Structure formats: C-alpha cells, structure tokens
Amino acid sequence: MKTIFAFVAVFKEVFLYSNSSFGQNSVDFFLSGIVPLINTAEVVPLPESQTLNILEGEVRRLVARVNETSNSPRGYRILASSQNSSKLRNTNQPDALVSYTFSYGGAPSLVLSNINQEVKRVPSVTGLVTNVSEVRVSLDKQPQALVGTYTDTVSISISAD
C-alpha cells in the first residue's frame, strides 16, 4: 500500500507542475530560415556571333541568348557595355572599325558604350523566375573593309533592385 501511495503522490506532483491551471512552465524558441539572393545572367553565345557578315551587313542577327534568373522582389536590371563602344575592331589594323547596334530582349537597337548602361528592367518578381532574352546585332554593309578578323567584347550583367 505504501508503494501505491508514493506513486500517487509523485504523479500528483508531476501533474500539478505541468497543468496550466496551476502555473505554466513554457519556453519559447524561434524557427527561421534564410533564402539567399539569386541573381544570375548566363550568356549563351551562338555560333552566329563569330560569323558576322561584314561585307554584306547584318540586320538584327541573333548572336546570343541570356538566361536571367532572379528572386529579388523589387526586380532586376540588365546592364551591357562594349569594350570598343559598339565597334568591331580589326585585330591586325586597330584603326579599321565597323560600327554596329545592339538589341536586347526585343528592345530597339542602341549603340553601347564602354560604360554599363541599362538594356532591360524587370520591375518586380513574385518568386524565383527565369527569363530568356535574345541578343541581336545589326551592322551596315562594308564592301570596302580591310581583310582581317574584327572583334569586340560585350559584357552583360544583372543587378538586383
């Protein structure tokens, strides 16, 4: 009988301490997680970017696609610049230049400078998005162009707002 009485007494104590009507013993803790900013622009050059027809000219020739990925709720901007300010430079004759215009994502053509300029703006996103934009170039025909390879380097970057 002593054993049963002791068990009931211990059970009563445990019940009294855990019952909310006799005082509450609680501990708060927080749960959290972090979603990092994802903002990438992956440029996929096409073979056509290396075979521009300088003698006959080009009209809005597709030269690359850009995969833009972002989760910034305030959106993002795409910036572009050209090492030679929208001029293809002859690698053997640096003074021999061919001007071109640049179009990004279906926007009107423009002349790039060697300083980043905005070529696209997405004002907001509601979650992780991936957009694909086309890069096109146009250049007037240059039937009198000097022999050689003409090059320029275009840089494309993404910036969260």
Q: Which domains does the chain have, with CATH numbers?
A: 39-160 (2.60.40)
Three-state SS for 11? helix
The maximal CA–CA distance of the chain, rounded, in angstroms, is: 115
Each residue's pLDDT, cut to its tens digit, for the chain (161 residues) gives 444 444 444 444 444 444 455 678 889 999 999 999 999 999 999 999 999 999 999 999 999 999 999 999 999 999 999 999 999 999 999 999 999 999 999 999 999 999 999 999 999 999 999 999 999 999 999 999 999 999 999 999 999 98
3-state secondary structure 94-111: CCCEEECEEEECCCCCEC
Cα-based distances in Å from 95 to 6, 55, 56, 141: 102, 17, 20, 18
- Given a contact cutoff of 8 angstroms between Cβ atoms, the answer to whether 91 and 148 are in contact is yes
- 16, containing H or E segment: helix 2-18
Please, what sign has the CA dihedral across residues 12, 16, 21, 26? Answer: negative
- What tokens appear for 146 in the block? 């000097």
